[in-house]
Amino acid sequence: MDIHEYQAKELLSRYQIHVPRGGLAYSPEQAAYRASEIGGDRWVVKAQIHSGARGKAGGIKLCSSDHEIVEAADAMLGRRLVTHQTGPQGKLVSRLYVEEAMDIGREIYLGFVLDRKSERIMIVASSSGGMEIEEIAEAEPDSIIRATVDPGVGMQDFQAREIAFGLGIDNALIGRATQTLLGCYRAFVDYDASMLEINPLVVTRRGDLVALDAKMSFDENALFRRPHISEMRDKSQEDQRETFASDRGLSYVGLDGNIGCIINGAGLA
């Protein structure tokens, strides 16, 4: 199960991970009001859909006035945003997240996933953030850091520091980076996550480390013990065929074309 960016940031902020100040909006007028609540002179209006690459598709706009905020919000709400991850049908934008703009010094990629080969949580990080991890792996494979965590002892301080140093983070921010990495790990475990991604994690010119974007996915088989996570589900972002089946206790994978049955052996077909 996936959740929206603003929901992931809310969860991560409980683990002392710094996120920009922001607010949710369902109309252009509410978006402008959220900006006035935040204060400042620059804001970012973000379409909330379950997909990456929103910026390239026009789903993230930097604004410096109420007029620009209203204009950006009006252009997004009620429309389908098409990215390379959504397919040609796109996903409906029914809510926006308005947050303060950050003065970015550099961008970092940080991800936590379940590695089935090692049967451990794997941390994937890169000093080249802001791109999809597949793009980073192709363009700068040497920049990627990988580390696994022994589930018997959990992530240790020395592992977090080692990754932070490997990312070239300044000594003054090593403590903050260590706290961020450990916080991500604890959130991943505490919420039965299957994926956690901060891209980018930015070093601001004021010397802070901030999660500028965040994604989280969860193990649906564990949702029975995480009712507060289940409540974050946005069914409008999911394949309606899969939702229909799930509501009736069935497992169904929506596919294009005319496939009616996938034969997977072991007498299960």
Catalytic positions, written as ranges: 109, 197
**What gap in Å lies between CA 111 and CA 212, rounded to an integer?**
13
Token couple for 206: 């004021």
72 CB-near residues (< 8 Å, 6+ apart): 31, 45, 61, 63
β-partners of residue 201 are: 108, 211
In what helix (H) or strand (E) does residue 46 lie, and over which residues does it extend? Answer: strand 43-47
Strand pairing category for 209-211 and 22-25:
unpaired
28 CB-near residues (< 8 Å, 6+ apart): 69, 70, 71, 73, 74, 77
Instruction: For helices 66-76 and 28-38, give the axis angle rounded to 10 degrees.
Output: 140
What one-character-per-residue DSSP string does 223-251 give? GGG-HHHHTT--GGGS-HHHHHHHTTT--
**What gap in Å lies between CA 190 and CA 172, rounded to an integer?**
29
Can you say whether the dihedral through the CA atoms of 91, 92, 95, 101 is positive or negative? positive
